[in-house]
Amino acid sequence: MAVKLTERQQQILELIRSEITRTGFPPTRAEIARALGFKSANAAEDHLKALARKGAIELTAGASRGIRLTGGSLAGAQHAGSLLGRASSAVTQLMVPLVGRVAAGNPILAAEHVEREVGIELALFSQTPDYLLRVRGLSMRDAGILDGDLLAVKKSPDARNGQIVVARIGEDVTVKRFARAGKRIELLPENPDFQPIIVTADDEFSIEGIAVGLIRNTPLH
């Protein structure tokens, strides 16, 4: 029997689904509080913990966007789940290259970067990924993207504000949140220990793709 949610809990669950559909990632506690008129992020945290106790979501400790919809919640979201997966009875497999460390200046899908091909379930993603990129470092920790995770990426030269992208700046490839204001472009981390990258007119800059999914490749503690 399905667990009954309060009206407020249902509102929060719908907000989480909506944000995952719109940006690919769940909202922060502060964003939930702002959207629903709570006085503080602590109030949002209390509701999230209640949803977790009822099995509607899973929470990742220490990550501001560490909210994962469970199977039951995913089944109720027809379009949500671009990065957190989606329940599906039909399983379609696709083999995609797994890219490890990218050498400076070389194309991401160069043969020397591909560790192997990996079979994935297309039902996990709202868009079909072209490759998986092994995440290095913790600059996107608060988006729930951890060192060693596999980021599903769809090749695209363009991105919308707020999307998480794989970008090339100079000879380096990085995963960051894309932000554009007029001609100013910033690549934003999701960890206060890291500084934003400001793209200048002198930089060789390109977007390699947008994140469309995440496969957790490390144990949760």
Residue 21, pLDDT above cutoff 80 = no
Q: What is the distance between the alpha carbons of residues 7 and 72, in angstroms, rounded to a whole number?
A: 17
Catalytic residue flag (residue 89): no
Residue 7, pLDDT above cutoff 60 = yes
Q: What is the distance between the alpha carbons of residues 6 and 75, in angstroms, rounded to a whole number?
A: 19
pLDDT in tens, 143-162: 888 888 889 899 999 999 99
Catalytic residue among 49, 156, 176, 183, which? 176
pLDDT band at residue 175 under the 50/70/90 scheme: very high
In terms of pLDDT, which residue wins out, 158 or 82?
A: 158
Task: Tell me if 206 sits within 8 A of 213, measured CB to CB.
Answer: no
Catalytic residue flag (residue 139): yes
Q: What is the distance between the alpha carbons of residues 192 and 173, in angstroms, rounded to a whole number?
A: 20
- Report the candidate in 207, 137, 215 with the shortest Cα–Cα distance to residue 165: 207
pLDDT of residue 91: 43
Share of the chain above pLDDT 90, in %: 24
All domains of the chain, ordered by start, with CATH?
7-75 (1.10.10.10), 93-215 (2.10.109.10)
Tokens describing residue 183: 């001609």
Mapping DSSP to helix (H, G, I), strand (E, B) and coil, where does residue 106 land? Answer: coil
Residue 74, pLDDT above cutoff 60 = no
Within the chain, residue ranges assigned H as helices are 7-23, 29-36, 41-53, 71-75
pLDDT band at residue 75 under the 50/70/90 scheme: very low
Residue 136, pLDDT above cutoff 50 = yes
Tokens describing residue 167: 């970008």
Torsion of CA 78, 82, 84, 90, to 10 degrees: 60
- Report the candidate in 204, 140, 138, 198 with the shortest Cα–Cα distance to residue 171: 204
Catalytic residue among 82, 139, 154, 183, which? 139
The DSSP output letter for 118 is E
Residue 166's DSSP bridge partners are 175, 209
pLDDT of residue 207: 94
Q: What is the distance between the alpha carbons of residues 147 and 221, in angstroms, rounded to a whole number?
A: 14
Tokens 């949760």, residue located: 220
Based on its alpha-carbon atoms, the radius of gyration of the chain, rounded to whole angstroms, reads: 18
Share of the chain above pLDDT 70, in %: 79
pLDDT of residue 71: 60
pTM confidence score = 0.60
